[in-house]
Structure 1
Amino acid sequence: MAGKTAKKQKETKIVYAWEKYPQGKERDKVMKFAESYRKFISENKTERECTSTIYEDAIKNGFVDLEEVIASGKKLEAGSRVIANNMGKGLALFIVGEEPIQNGMNILGAHIDSPRIDLKQVPLYEDALYKTHFAMLDTHYYGGIKKYQWVTLPLALHGVFAKKDGSVVNVSIGDKPGDPVFGISDLLIHLAGSQMSKKATEVITGEKLDILVGSIAKSKEEEEEAKDLVKKNVLAILAETYGIEEDDFLSAEIEVVPAGEARDYGLDRSMIMGYGHDDRVCAYPSYKAMLKIDQPKYTSVCLLVDKEEIGSVGASGMQSRFFENCVAEMIALTGEYSDLYVRRALKNSKALSSDVSAALDPNFPAVMEDKNSAFFGKGLVFNKYTGSRGKSGSNDANAEYVAKVRAIMDNNNVKFQTAELGKVDEGGGGTIAYILGNYNMNVIDSGVAVLNMHAPWEIISKVDLYEAYLGYVAFLKEA
């Protein structure tokens, strides 16, 4: 009888996560969470915007700025919620646990930067060489992109101008109703014989990713010199609308991103097409998971960082001392400080490097090995290792830690799968996992499977997003 029961259970084991959520209230939870995420990535297309939005929401949910806590001299206790802002480009959120911080933390680490195109510091020029008289913005792409994917798309400008007087002007053009959009032109097919014979890496080069922003000349009567009149007209618009002068581009950070909101994808609305799933599809549920934690045994942490797409470098990247410094401050605020306690806290911690994985694409199956691939609808993805070729640059999680994470997911009925990033020798990639691992802590990559990764418009499954959220909550509570 027991054998028949076991056989029946095996036969009814779910294959796809959607089977957990039949039509009705259970599926509504998945769709409601996905809709809140869809709005989030539609409204937050840069690391600065993500930081600002999450910071404001966290304050509303009881988190207190670390600088404010330091200034008050108040001692932190179990259940205290603290948030640290890293230059407006990243965050560290803490919920103090019952155990001393030096006994370890449960960390969800994700990045909030995405591949894009940046403006150069001296970007604005007028192309009058061939009498086109276009105002153009010179650019430098950021992260790994297929450059040809970014032409002939409606694009938006998001970012900040930092002025010499210390003020900062926020700019967002191309996503509000009635806004103009911008774009990168491409050669018409009728004259593209030579272009079409080139390798994909040469069809569009980095210096050909310039943005067309204007074509009306300023009145000659208004100018002493009848030169660059289209450029001068654009500058006049910027001055009138934003108070911006041409030299202010020198201290600006303006990002060129796809214009338009994320959309439901598929007749069944089971997916979301949007810009920046990598890695906001992991950052968002990581933050939301923190809101489900009250008084954890071990201190819960959500770490959201910048610059992952270019190697996690710089002051706002994971390789900076920001997180380590925050941990030191937290220990000092909870009791007696010791550098040894900081080292112990990092070593004793357990982390999920919450980053996306490549979904098997039925149009390109040859680069994947199906037994070890991520699939839409099969839940949260764990990558024991990433890297390239011989696991170069990989964290490669310990087997014992993988077993612990498996147990947490199974005990909480979280649908998950394991995967590699394509076939051996096909390519590869990396995350912040190895940097966390440098602290001697246990860490494994976990995230959501993505189609079209690093393209202007990426695709994810709503149910995988929801399973990631459930998995992150379970990890914070039980790791």
Structure 2
Amino acid sequence: MPSPLLPVSPAARERARGLLEFIDASPSPWHVVASAVAMLERAGYRPLDETASWRLAPGDRCYVIRDGSTLAAFRIGQASPVEAGVRLIGAHTDSPGLRVKPRAGEARGDWLRLGVEIYGGPILATFTDRDLGLAGRVALRAPTAPLGVDSRLVRFDGPLLRIPNLAIHLNRKVNEDGLKLDRQAALPPILGAVEEGLPAAEHLTRLLAAQLAVEPADILGFDLNVYDTQPGAFFGPQQEFIADSQLDNLGSSHAALAALLDTDADPPPATSLCLLFDHEEVGSTSAKGADGSFLDDVLERIALGGGLDRADYRRMLARSVLVSADMAHAFHPGHAGAYDDQHRVHLNGGPVIKTNASQRYTTDGLSAGVFQLACERAGVPWQAYVQRTDMACGSTIGPLAASRLGLRSVDVGNPMWAMHSARESAGAADHDAMCRALMEFFRA
């Protein structure tokens, strides 16, 4: 174990509290972007539209959104990007969980349930017996909007749904065999009693219409998350840990935004770019995922909007560096055999540099050195993580983004327990340490 572990200073505690508030305000990828926009606009960042022409000058602070749940925020540096390159930090807005099917209502006996699909790789058992809500966006008729469709965010703040466990008397081996949920039959959460005479599929439409104060007929569709309504919290004898949903990967998203905004008072010469992608948990292959065109489009338009030509753009990329920020697996004392003994990382031990020889993570010796130097300048420790050789490794946006554009890249993240659980946990001091390290990366 690293010694000493980071203390939870008042500044670190305040930073962790800000993270929990960010998460609790952001129960879907669309809410994540809305929360990010609120932070950016308070700091004076202005919106750009992909359909408009961009004219950019040194010092400009801007953001652009694709389809509501992917965002790029950037500050144009005083130095030419041809000579200084761009410093990029990438994270993602989505988290594993349950997504509501288009015709969601189904009657089973006297009870109404909502059909759901599994999004990404959640630990399904952790969603049972929890106070669940719904959040996302709703598509509405809007004759004056492009294509005649507009969208609005929706959120049911209080507990609305539940996936109750089967009593142990009826499932005697649950503790020996583990909880196994039939994904089609047992997973749909219960909404309430069936209302006689109302088709099952219309219950949710009416709920959404009432929540948004619109007519049911105006609702054309929706994209809805099932989410845990329990707010984030500190825990431990010295309140040295935090627990919340979506720490993976809103911890990294919030840290990237904080690093960008915290360098505004003394902007570094290089252009700084923060990218928050949707769809990482399902492979990133979409119009707004890291394997889509958004990263390429934003970088090229920054170059062209600043008067560079195509050759200058490629030179800019050759000088640029990406930090792919996603969370990391902290050592779990109850499952010591799951880790490489030489690469255990610990809560409150500082940011983690993640390496994989098969390029599931993009880190190499040089890019690791770039981040190590950032940690040194920030005065925070760093840790090294490698997966056990006999276990498959996860991946991040790093390999996709780096391979598309030929960027030097390093994969980093903060250590956490219970990744992909409905309730994850992490060290209360680590978030501030990551923010400070990312700030120094932007300043390099």
User: Could you say whether these structures have the same fold, taking a TM-score greater than 0.5 normalized by the shorter chain as the test?
Assistant: yes
Matches of residues 361-376 of structure 1 in structure 2 within 5 Å? 361-376=332-347
Q: 1:120 offset after TM fit, Å?
A: 0.9
Equivalent position of 1:287 in the other structure: 257
Equivalent position of 1:306 in the other structure: 278
**CA gap 1:398/1:211 in 2 versus in 1, 3 angstroms:** same
Q: 1:353 offset after TM fit, Å?
A: 0.5
Q: 1:124 offset after TM fit, Å?
A: 1.1
Cα pair 1:355 1:431 within 8 Å, conserved = yes
**Alpha-carbon deviations, 1:325-371, whole Å to 9, x = none?**
11111112212x42223333223211111110000011111111232
Question: Of 2, 20, 28, which aligns to 1:46?
Answer: 28
- Does the residue aligned with 1:403 lie in a helix, a strand or coil? helix
- Does the residue aligned with 1:278 lie in a helix, a strand or coil? helix
Residue type matched to 2:389 in 1?
A: V
**CA gap 1:135/1:57 in 2 versus in 1, 3 angstroms:** same
Question: Of 209, 212, 215, which aligns to 2:193?
Answer: 215
Question: Of 103, 108, 129, which aligns to 1:122?
Answer: 103
Cα pair 1:215 1:230 within 8 Å, conserved = no
Question: Of 412, 424, 430, which aligns to 1:464?
Answer: 430
**Alpha-carbon deviations, 1:45-67, whole Å to 9, x = none?**
21111101111321221212223
Residue type matched to 2:5 in 1?
A: Y
- Does the residue aligned with 2:248 lie in a helix, a strand or coil? helix
1:236 and 1:307 map into 2 onto residues whose CA distance is 28
Residue type matched to 1:252 in 2?
A: F
Cα pair 2:105 2:202 within 8 Å, conserved = no
Matched, 1:113 2:85: no
**CA gap 1:339/1:427 in 2 versus in 1, 3 angstroms:** same
1:401 and 1:435 map into 2 onto residues whose CA distance is 16
Matched, 1:81 2:61: yes
Question: Of 16, 31, 35, which aligns to 1:34?
Answer: 16
Question: Of 87, 92, 98, which aligns to 2:72?
Answer: 92
Cα pair 1:277 1:459 within 8 Å, conserved = yes
Equivalent position of 1:407 in the other structure: 373
- Does the residue aligned with 1:119 lie in a helix, a strand or coil? strand
1:195 and 1:403 map into 2 onto residues whose CA distance is 47
Equivalent position of 1:168 in the other structure: 151
2:273 and 2:152 map into 1 onto residues whose CA distance is 31
Residue type matched to 1:369 in 2?
A: D
**CA gap 1:270/1:196 in 2 versus in 1, 3 angstroms:** closer
Residue type matched to 2:71 in 1?
A: L
1:270 and 1:351 map into 2 onto residues whose CA distance is 30
Taking every aligned residue pair, what percent have the same amino acid on both sides? 21
Cα pair 1:393 1:434 within 8 Å, conserved = yes
Equivalent position of 1:343 in the other structure: 314
Residue type matched to 1:52 in 2?
A: A
**Alpha-carbon deviations, 1:20-67, whole Å to 9, x = none?**
x6xxxxx11111111111111111121111101111321221212223
Equivalent position of 2:223 in the other structure: 253
**CA gap 1:270/1:68 in 2 versus in 1, 3 angstroms:** same
Matches of residues 438-449 of structure 1 in structure 2 within 5 Å? 438=403, 439-449=405-415
Q: 1:281 offset after TM fit, Å?
A: 0.7
**CA gap 1:473/1:122 in 2 versus in 1, 3 angstroms:** same
The structure with the largest alpha-carbon Rg is 1
Equivalent position of 1:58 in the other structure: 40
- Backbone CA RMSD of aligned residues: 2.4
Cα pair 2:61 2:76 within 8 Å, conserved = yes
1:349 and 1:116 map into 2 onto residues whose CA distance is 34
Cα pair 2:105 2:200 within 8 Å, conserved = no
Question: Of 289, 292, 305, which aligns to 1:320?
Answer: 292
- Does the residue aligned with 1:352 lie in a helix, a strand or coil? strand
**CA gap 1:365/1:198 in 2 versus in 1, 3 angstroms:** closer
**Alpha-carbon deviations, 1:385-424, whole Å to 9, x = none?**
3xxxxx4452442312322332232233122111123x21
**CA gap 1:161/1:155 in 2 versus in 1, 3 angstroms:** same
**CA gap 1:17/1:194 in 2 versus in 1, 3 angstroms:** closer
Matches of residues 223-262 of structure 1 in structure 2 within 5 Å? 227=197, 236-242=206-212, 243=214, 245=216, 248=219, 251-262=221-232
Cα pair 1:123 1:138 within 8 Å, conserved = yes
Matched, 1:427 2:392: yes
Matched, 1:159 2:142: no
Q: 1:149 offset after TM fit, Å?
A: 2.1
TM-score by length of 1: 0.84
Question: Of 436, 442, 448, which aligns to 2:401?
Answer: 436
Equivalent position of 1:188 in the other structure: 167
- Does the residue aligned with 2:223 lie in a helix, a strand or coil? strand
Matched, 1:417 2:383: yes
Q: 1:195 offset after TM fit, Å?
A: 6.1
- Does the residue aligned with 2:107 lie in a helix, a strand or coil? strand
2:359 and 2:399 map into 1 onto residues whose CA distance is 7
Residue type matched to 2:425 in 1?
A: I
2:100 and 2:91 map into 1 onto residues whose CA distance is 25
**CA gap 1:197/1:449 in 2 versus in 1, 3 angstroms:** closer
Return 5+ residue gaps in structure 1 as ranges: 1-12, 22-26, 219-226, 386-390
Q: 1:376 offset after TM fit, Å?
A: 0.9
1:235 and 1:62 map into 2 onto residues whose CA distance is 38
**Alpha-carbon deviations, 1:77-97, whole Å to 9, x = none?**
322212111111111111111
Equivalent position of 2:420 in the other structure: 454
- Does the residue aligned with 1:210 lie in a helix, a strand or coil? coil
- Does the residue aligned with 1:264 lie in a helix, a strand or coil? strand
**Alpha-carbon deviations, 1:63-116, whole Å to 9, x = none?**
122239955x64x33222121111111111111112222341111111111011
Matched, 1:270 2:240: yes
Equivalent position of 1:382 in the other structure: 353
Residue type matched to 2:123 in 1?
A: K
**CA gap 1:241/1:112 in 2 versus in 1, 3 angstroms:** closer
2:418 and 2:395 map into 1 onto residues whose CA distance is 17
Q: 1:192 offset after TM fit, Å?
A: 0.9
1:258 and 1:144 map into 2 onto residues whose CA distance is 16
Q: 1:209 offset after TM fit, Å?
A: 1.2
**CA gap 1:152/1:333 in 2 versus in 1, 3 angstroms:** same
How many residue pairs end up in the alignment?
432
Equivalent position of 2:49 in the other structure: 67
